[in-house]
Amino acid sequence: MGPWMSLTLRLQAVALCLLLSIGTVSAAQTSTQRTNTHLVREAFTNWQQGKGTVFDLLAPDARWIVAGSSPVSAVYNSKTELMEQAVRPISARLATPISPRVQSIIAEGDVVVVLWKGEATARDRKPYNNTYLWHMTFKEGEVIEVKAFLDTYTLNDLMLRVQPAH
């Protein structure tokens, strides 16, 4: 009873320590998920209220990938590159800012996925409506990578149809 009991107690102690450490890791992930989800939800709310955009969450060296093989599909290797080569040219073709409506937000680990609809009026007075799914990877409270899925046909139509404001 002596040596076996001692071994059994030691194994139980090790198992308990493992369970506690797994619980701690799981709790930390849940906290990270909650924090990142809150940041995304708050950024979309601010965007709706004209107080900023989700782009405010981007790290300076964030990588942004517009999925697909259309003329508007591309990879941007910094926030500045994205803003200058994609966001500003799109905004210059709109008479009104894009009004975002979040459909759902899902988080796992450092990733937040948001499905949202954007509505705006183009400079030619036609509607610009698109649906987006952004797969956003966070690191220390900043977005370091986004994989953006959207109707690139609709975006390409806007870019070809509407002349930008000067």
Tell me how far apart the terminal alpha carbons of the chain are, to the nearest angstrom: 87
Q: pLDDT for 100-142, tens place per residue?
A: 999 999 999 999 999 999 999 999 999 999 999 999 999 999 9
Q: Among 91, 97, 84, 111, which residue's Cα sits nearest to residue 48?
A: 97
Residue ranges and CATH numbers for the domains of the chain are: 2-161 (3.10.450.50)
pTM, entire model: 0.82
pLDDT digits (tens, 9 = 90+) for 65-95: 999 988 889 999 999 999 999 999 999 999 9
Rg (CA), the chain: 22
Centre a 10 Å sphere on the Cβ of residue 104 and count the other Cβ atoms it contains.
9
Tens of pLDDT, residues 30-70: 899 999 999 999 999 999 999 999 999 999 999 999 999 88
- Say which residues have a Cβ less than 8 Å from residue 61's Cβ, sequence separation at least 6: 77, 78, 79, 144
Mean pLDDT of the chain: 89
- Helices and strands per DSSP (H, E), number in the chain: 4, 6
Query: Vertex 60, ends 54 and 63: CA angle to 5°?
Result: 75
Rounded to an integer, what is the distance from CA 109 to the centroid of its chain?
13
